[in-house]
């Protein structure tokens, strides 16, 4: 599917049969008000390019019931997907670039701050720091498995082309006590998106365009080789389709993934 403007994240709404796509549409660090969320059917029909407008540089998405949470630079925005309206905003004065979002089964919302080396949680109507540490190593995508929050990181000493002298890795954080650790034999890369596909993760490398599978012991296999700019992944566990936003090409592509075989086949003309 084409026609997007720097698509950064895709969220699959299985019950309503929609995909939501965040479009930065400008500078990723500017509060310019030109960002938006698109809505489209998984088969590519019914595209509403500017379904919800007036955002700045929207990135990570996460759906909880009828609430779509959006990491929009310096605030967490909540959209009622049945009304297509913004219903809440949670600003963070000290945020640098809010990026990834994950929601626990209990409804606890977690948000990463890419340049702030911070993980936030939404508590009592406020987005407050949960963990602040240089060990977060420029945190990006988030995924929850059981009582563990998986954090994929970009790396440190970022250069002008967004490469890093020290590539990122994969962290795990206990949701019980906030203990921070590194995945055994963690693979290195400029990681962006991460989804749990049952006992392992699919992770995108923004700079190389690779999507790789990562096992619980850090074992890694390449699943897809795409173009640079492969960003925050969306996963439909019912259809087995992985949705990949390709920021630099302005498109979103679906790949049917067999978690057992872990190979990807492009879905139709999507």
Whole-model pTM? 0.95
More confident residue, 88 or 266: 88
Q: Where in the chain are the domains?
A: 7-266
Mean pLDDT of 29-57: 97
Strands of 220-225's sheet in order across: 191-196, 200-205, 210-215, 220-225
Across the range 109-136, mean pLDDT stands at 97
- Long-range CB pairs of 223-231 (<8 Å, 24+ gap) are 223/257, 223/262, 223/263, 223/264, 224/255, 224/264, 226/253, 230/192, 230/193, 230/204, 230/205, 230/206, 231/7, 231/8, 231/9, 231/192, 231/193, 231/204, 231/206
Cross-strand pairs, 73: 98
| Fold (topology level) of 7-266 | Neuraminidase (2.120.10)
pLDDT in tens, 172-214: 999 999 999 999 888 999 999 999 998 899 999 999 999 999 9
- pLDDT of 270: 47
Residue 226 contacts residue 249 (beta carbons within 8 Å) = no
Tell whether the model's pLDDT for residue 269 goes beyond 70.
Answer: no
Question: Band of the pLDDT at 171, cuts 50, 70, 90?
Answer: very high
Rounded mean pLDDT, 254-259: 90
């Amino acid at each position: 599917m084409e026609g997007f403007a720097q698509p950064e994240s895709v969220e699959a709404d299985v019950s309503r049969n929609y995909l939501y796509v965040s479009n930065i549409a400008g500078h990723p660090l500017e509060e310019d008000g030109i960002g938006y969320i698109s809505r489209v059917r998984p088969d590519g029909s019914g595209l509403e390019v500017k379904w919800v407008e007036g955002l700045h540089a929207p990135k990570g998405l996460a759906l909880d019931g009828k609430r779509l949470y959006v990491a929009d630079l310096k605030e967490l925005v909540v959209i009622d997907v049945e009304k297509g309206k913004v219903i809440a905003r949670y600003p963070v004065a000290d945020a640098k670039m809010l990026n990834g979002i994950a929601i626990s089964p209990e409804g606890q919302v977690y948000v990463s701050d890419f340049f702030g080396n911070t993980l936030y949680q939404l508590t009592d109507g406020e987005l407050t720091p949960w963990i602040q540490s240089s060990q977060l190593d420029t945190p990006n995508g988030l995924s929850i498995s059981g009582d563990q929050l998986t954090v994929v990181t970009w790396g440190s000493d970022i250069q002008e082309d967004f490469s890093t002298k020290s590539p990122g890795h994969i962290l795990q954080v206990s949701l019980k006590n906030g203990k921070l650790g590194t995945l055994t034999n963690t693979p290195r890369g400029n990681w962006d998106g991460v989804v749990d596909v049952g006992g392992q993760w699919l992770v995108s490398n923004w700079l190389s365009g690779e999507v790789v599978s990562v096992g619980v012991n850090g074992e890694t296999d390449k699943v897809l080789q795409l173009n640079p700019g492969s960003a925050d992944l969306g996963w439909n566990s019912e259809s087995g389709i992985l949705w990949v936003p390709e920021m630099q090409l302005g498109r979103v592509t679906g790949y049917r993934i067999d978690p057992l075989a872990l190979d990807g086949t492009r879905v139709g003309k999507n």
